[in-house]
């Protein structure tokens, strides 16, 4: 029975009839409102298709349709989900794990609207005052540092990396593609009449080399007739600074951006020392601290600083600051600083910041949609997340959560379990009811949630050990810890405790034989895909080329095979200024990304688009005779990504999916030593318990072959199966960075001060 005190039975329910979005198979759902509903199921079972791509998408589309024609014509035309009928929808807010877009001008302070309140406080009571609020903003000319223009860093070009002094102009002395011989920018200095084109730059006089590099809008006296008549001459460095530094890099291709990163050096601004603000703003103090100081200390420390601070002139602003800081603390982000660039936040951190932005909203009867909000959180932090979700619900809102974590599922008013499998094997509702009923249901999710975790006893015997000495990266306090070899070690602790600093920085720095497979962004975004990362895309294109007689570039959506309308992206993106960009499938290719010529060629009845939409097992069967492709596909399945289409764009993958893809690439390398030492950073992010068991089985296989694994983890299913646990904490930021305990899982449970031990004890105890 649904608890009527929350208002679920009094409101018209959300009704979905005949949903076929993505892999959904004629799904029908009647969902009460003003409740916390959690959607579970294995990865790829259809949870996101039902919640995000059907319910939330249709709500947003209908809201857009409600605007006047003038406004509606300027909004993206979103297609209707593949569903027969829907009813009872309300305004929907999607809070997903997409990282914040933007650049270094966006910080945690700006993303949470704290920046404006802090500027107000300092403009009113800072001594000496720098002026009105804009005078304290690094995004305003009156407040920004004039040297770095508010960026905190200065960029310059490494001339030695850019210029090959041994070459002449005719030979192409500039190591940058836009200056290669024959192209437009090369012609500008080749036809300037200033230089001997056949003479190596080493033989230039100092004056000639200075002109070649640094000339600025120079009027030419005797240029070649082919030089534009009204144009002025700029040196190579001057031109690159104008194009890439002053105008920005947002529209630059991935290839050019990668080239630029090889020749650009970045330095902290020598004037503001990275503070971004001018001298007047930096000199304005409150109790001996500047606004820069407030921005640079961890949120938990800033909140403590403001505990006893009062001033009637800024009392409302201080109340607002405290409220937002408390909300950030409640979602486990007390270790962040307000000057942290928002684009550097992980997907889970960005999602929690978005939650904070909605907590003070006066809107009610809103449908809030969350996509795995527990990602990146230790069990000790999840209770605070749960409190936020229930607060939103109790304000009269409907909360829909796609989630795997037992602690979130336990507080649900209503659970919808999809499956039974992934992809074509999923897309059906397996269960609806309460969390208790789910555990008694017999579904995959129910069985795994009902079973207590089993600790690994006894632990496997290591082959030796290596020691990490005096670990001090970031917030680490200088402790020593041993890493046993030939077994599985998990590094645990709350978010921000220093786990990743220890495992992905200190360990490989002191012991370079450890290979880190982390969650760093993969290059390529929408222009790259899983096959590219695995290094087998060219082999697939070559197979289609051999079968069709066409050049391999016809089977690349970045080459001749690209759809002419969307240029191979598969969608058309509309930029909405300060709002998130919105993408809709390309009408010309239907989202397939290829043109008609490419799609007409087939291999065993499959086009190149069909192959990219296929799962690894299907691709492995199609290319069974190609050892490289079949091996890569086998490792993709073994890392728990068997549900994922091999052509998925990298920008659609979660952090955990990217990491498992990189792990599959590492493991499929024929040069790999089976006794290698691997560090993984939260590889189970976004995984259903059954998929975590798949990862555990892979870990056992790798260790059986001789590998050493060090895994940063929050997931107790992995921690329970570890041979050795290193627990770091006890808190986050300045309250963490210490070695709490180390030993077997049973040893960690016995340590009373370990939050990981508390969570592991609860997960391994029989449920009532």
Which domain CATH number covers 463? Answer: 3.40.50.300
| 103 domain residue, yes or no | no
pLDDT value at residue 4 = 41
Mean pLDDT of 175-184: 86
Number of structural domains in the chain: 5
Q: Please indicate, yes or no, if residue 473 is contained in any of the structural domains.
A: yes
Of 580 and 528, the structure prediction assigns the larger pLDDT to 528
User: What is the tens place of the pLDDT at every residue in 484-538?
Assistant: 999 999 999 988 889 989 999 999 999 999 999 876 656 555 678 889 889 899 9
Residues 586 and 671 in one domain: no
**pLDDT greater than 80 at residue 725:** yes
pLDDT at 609: 93
pLDDT in the model for residue 445: 94
Tens digits of per-residue pLDDT, 101-139? 666 788 999 989 899 999 999 999 999 999 999 999 999
Coarse DSSP helix, strand, coil percentages of the chain, rounded to the nearest 5 percent? 40, 15, 45
Answer yes or no: is 325 within a domain. yes
428 or 349, which is more confident? Answer: 428
Strands 428-433 and 83-87: unpaired
State which of 253, 268, 283 marks the end of a domain: 268
| Structural domain contains residue 749 | yes
State how beta strands 398-402 and 414-419 pair: unpaired
> How many angstroms from the chain centroid is the CA of residue 431?
31
Q: What is the CA radius of gyration of the chain?
A: 29
Mark which of 430, 450, 470 sits at the end of a domain: 450
Six-digit token pair at 717? 């299913």
Q: Does the pLDDT of residue 361 top 60, yes or no?
A: yes
* Range scoring the smallest mean pLDDT among 74-78, 163-167, 289-293: 74-78
630-687 pLDDT, tens per residue?
999 999 999 888 888 899 888 777 666 777 888 898 888 888 888 899 999 888 887 8
Q: Is there a domain that residue 657 lies in? A: yes
Q: pLDDT tens, 734-764?
A: 888 999 999 999 999 999 889 999 999 999 9
> Quick one: CA torsion of 744, 483, 469, 743, rounded to 10 degrees?
0
The reported pLDDT for the residue numbered 225 is 87
How far is the C-alpha of 491 from the C-alpha of 97, rounded, in Å? Answer: 24
| The pair of three-digit structure tokens given for residue 517, joined into one six-digit string | 């497979």
What is the pLDDT at residue 254? 61
Q: What one-character-per-residue DSSP string does 178-238 give?
A: GGSTTSHHHHHHHTSSSS-TTS-GGGS-HHHHHHHHH--SBPPSS--TTS-TT--B--HHH
More confident residue, 1 or 79: 79
> Could you tell me if residue 287 is inside a domain?
yes
Q: What's the pLDDT score for residue 102?
A: 60
497 SS3 class: coil
pLDDT at residue 570 above 90?
no
Going from the C-alpha of 638 to that of each of 103, 292, 537, 579, the distances in angstroms are 37, 48, 20, 39
Q: Report d(CA 467, CA 643) in Å as an integer.
A: 39
Quick one: which of 299, 406, 394, 396 has its CA closest to 352? 299
Mind listing the pLDDT tens digit for each residue in 144-160? 999 888 989 888 888 88
The phi, psi pair for 30, rounded to 5°, reads -120, 110
Q: Mean pLDDT for the chain? A: 88
- Supply the pLDDT for residue 295: 95
What average pLDDT does range 568-581 have in this prediction?
Answer: 63
Q: 398 and 371 in one domain?
A: yes
- Regarding whether 710 and 624 lie in a shared domain, the answer is no
**489 and 543 within one domain:** no
* Residues 620, 560 share a domain: yes
Structure confidence at residue 674 (pLDDT): 84
Give the C-alpha distances (Å, rounded to integers) separating 64 from 33, 49, 57, 60, 72: 22, 20, 11, 6, 6
> Domain check: are 535 and 646 in the same one?
yes
Task: Report residue 458's pLDDT band, with 50, 70 and 90 as the boundaries.
Answer: very high
**pLDDT at 577 exceeding the cut of 70:** no
Q: Are residues 276 and 146 in the same domain?
A: yes
Q: What is the pLDDT of residue 8?
A: 44
- Report residue 341's pLDDT band, with 50, 70 and 90 as the boundaries: confident
Q: In this structure, are 284 and 390 located in the same domain?
A: no
What are 47's two structure tokens? 């949870």
Higher pLDDT pick, 100 / 27: 27
Task: Rounding to the nearest 10 degrees, give the CA dihedral for residues 373, 446, 640, 408.
Answer: 10
264: CATH:
1.10.8.280
Residue 579 has pLDDT above 60, yes or no: no
Residue 667 lies in a domain: yes
Is 356's pLDDT higher than 80? yes
Q: Are residues 19 and 36 in the same domain?
A: yes
Give percent of the chain above pLDDT 90: 53
Percent of the chain with pLDDT over 70: 93
Decide: 112 and 363 in contact? Cβ < 8 Å. no
Does a structural domain hold residue 50?
yes
**Alpha-carbon 639 to chain mean position:** 19
Domain end call among 635, 651, 667: 651
Instruction: State the pLDDT confidence band at 562, using cuts at 50, 70 and 90.
Output: very high
**CATH code where residue 642 lies:** 1.20.1580.10
Same domain, yes or no: 580 and 684:
no
pLDDT of residue 569: 85
120 and 32 both lie in a single domain? no
Q: Dump pLDDT digits (tens) for 665-674.
A: 888 888 888 8
pLDDT at 6: 47
Q: Which range of residues forms the domain containing residue 405?
A: 4-98+346-450
Residue 9 has pLDDT above 50, yes or no: no
Whether residue 310 is preceded by a cis peptide bond, meaning omega within 30 degrees of 0, is: no
On the question of pLDDT at 5 being above 60, the answer is no
Whether the predicted pLDDT of 80 surpasses 90: no
Same domain as 432, residue 361: yes
Residue 146 CB coordination number (10 Å) = 12
Instruction: Answer whether residue 290 shows pLDDT above 70.
Output: yes
Amino acid 253: pLDDT: 64
């Amino acid at each position: 029975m649904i608890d009527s005190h929350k208002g679920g039975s009094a409101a018209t329910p959300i009704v979905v009839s005949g949903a076929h979005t993505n892999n959904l198979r004629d799904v029908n759902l009647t969902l009460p409102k003003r409740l916390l509903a959690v959607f579970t199921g294995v990865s790829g079972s259809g949870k996101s298709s039902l919640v995000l791509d059907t319910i939330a998408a249709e709500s947003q589309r209908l809201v857009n349709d409600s605007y006047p024609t003038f406004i509606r014509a300027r909004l993206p035309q979103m297609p209707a989900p593949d569903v027969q009928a829907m009813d009872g929808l309300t305004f929907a807010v999607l809070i997903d794990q997409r990282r914040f877009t933007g650049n270094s001008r966006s910080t945690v302070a700006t993303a949470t609207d704290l920046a404006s309140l802090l500027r107000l406080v300092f403009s009113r009571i800072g001594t000496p005052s720098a002026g009105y609020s804009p005078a304290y903003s690094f995004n305003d000319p009156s407040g920004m540092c004039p040297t770095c223009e508010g960026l905190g860093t200065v960029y310059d070009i490494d001339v030695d990396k850019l210029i090959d002094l041994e070459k002449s102009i005719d030979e192409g002395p500039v190591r940058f593609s836009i200056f290669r011989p024959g192209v437009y920018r090369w012609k500008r200095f080749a036809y300037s009449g200033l230089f001997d084109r056949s003479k190596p730059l080493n033989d230039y006089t100092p004056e000639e080399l200075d002109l070649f590099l640094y000339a600025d809008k120079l009027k030419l006296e005797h240029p070649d007739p082919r030089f534009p008549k009204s144009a002025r001459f700029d040196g190579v460095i001057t031109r690159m600074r104008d194009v890439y530094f002053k105008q920005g890099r947002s529209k630059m291709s991935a290839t050019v951006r990668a080239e630029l990163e090889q020749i650009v050096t970045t330095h902290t601004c020598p004037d503001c020392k990275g503070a971004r603000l001018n001298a007047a703003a930096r000199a304005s103090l409150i109790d001996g601290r500047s606004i820069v100081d407030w921005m640079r200390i961890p949120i938990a420390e800033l909140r403590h600083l403001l505990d006893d601070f009062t001033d009637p002139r800024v009392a409302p602003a201080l109340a607002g600051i405290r409220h937002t800081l408390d909300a950030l603390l409640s979602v486990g982000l007390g270790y962040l600083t307000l000057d942290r660039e928002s684009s550097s936040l992980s997907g889970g951190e960005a999602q929690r910041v978005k939650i904070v932005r909605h907590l003070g909203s006066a809107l009610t009867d809103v449908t809030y949609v969350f996509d795995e909000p527990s990602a990146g959180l230790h069990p000790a932090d999840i209770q605070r997340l749960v409190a936020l979700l229930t607060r939103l619900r109790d304000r009269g809102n409907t909360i829909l959560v796609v989630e795997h974590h037992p602690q979130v599922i336990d507080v649900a008013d209503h659970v919808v379990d999809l499956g039974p499998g992934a992809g074509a094997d999923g897309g059906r509702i397996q269960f609806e009811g309460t969390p208790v009923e789910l555990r008694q249901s017999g579904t995959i999710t129910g069985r795994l949630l009902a079973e207590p975790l089993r600790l690994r006893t006894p632990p496997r015997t290591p082959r030796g050990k290596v020691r990490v000495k005096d670990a001090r990266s970031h917030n680490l306090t200088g402790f020593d810890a041993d890493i046993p070899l030939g077994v599985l070690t998990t590094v645990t602790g709350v978010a921000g405790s220093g786990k990743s600093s220890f495992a992905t920085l200190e360990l490989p720095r002191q012991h370079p034989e450890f290979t880190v497979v982390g969650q760093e962004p993969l290059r390529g975004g929408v222009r790259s895909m899983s096959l590219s990362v695995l290094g087998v895309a060219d082999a697939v294109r070559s197979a289609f080329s051999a079968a069709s007689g066409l050049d391999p570039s016809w089977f690349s959506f970045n080459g001749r095979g690209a759809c002419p309308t969307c240029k191979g992206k598969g969608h058309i993106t509309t930029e909405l200024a300060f709002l998130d960009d919105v993408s809709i499938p390309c009408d010309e290719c239907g989202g397939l990304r290829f043109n008609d010529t490419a799609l007409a060629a087939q291999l065993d009845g499959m086009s190149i688009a069909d192959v990219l939409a296929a799962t690894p097992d299907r691709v492995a069967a199609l290319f069974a005779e190609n050892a490289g492709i079949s091996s890569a596909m086998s490792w993709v399945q073994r890392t728990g990504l068997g549900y994922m289409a091999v052509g998925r764009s990298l920008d659609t993958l979660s952090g955990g999916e990217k990491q498992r893809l990189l792990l599959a690439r590492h493991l499929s390398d024929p040069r790999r030593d089976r006794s290698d030492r691997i560090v993984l950073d939260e590889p189970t992010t976004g995984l259903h318990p059954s998929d975590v068991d798949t990862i555990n089985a892979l870990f056992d296989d790798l260790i059986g072959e001789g590998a050493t694994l060090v895994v940063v983890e929050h997931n107790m299913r992995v921690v329970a199966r570890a041979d050795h646990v290193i627990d770091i904490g006890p808190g986050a930021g300045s309250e963490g960075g210490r070695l709490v305990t180390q030993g077997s899982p049973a040893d960690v449970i016995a340590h009373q001060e370990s939050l990981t031990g508390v969570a592991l004890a609860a997960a391994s105890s029989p449920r009532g």
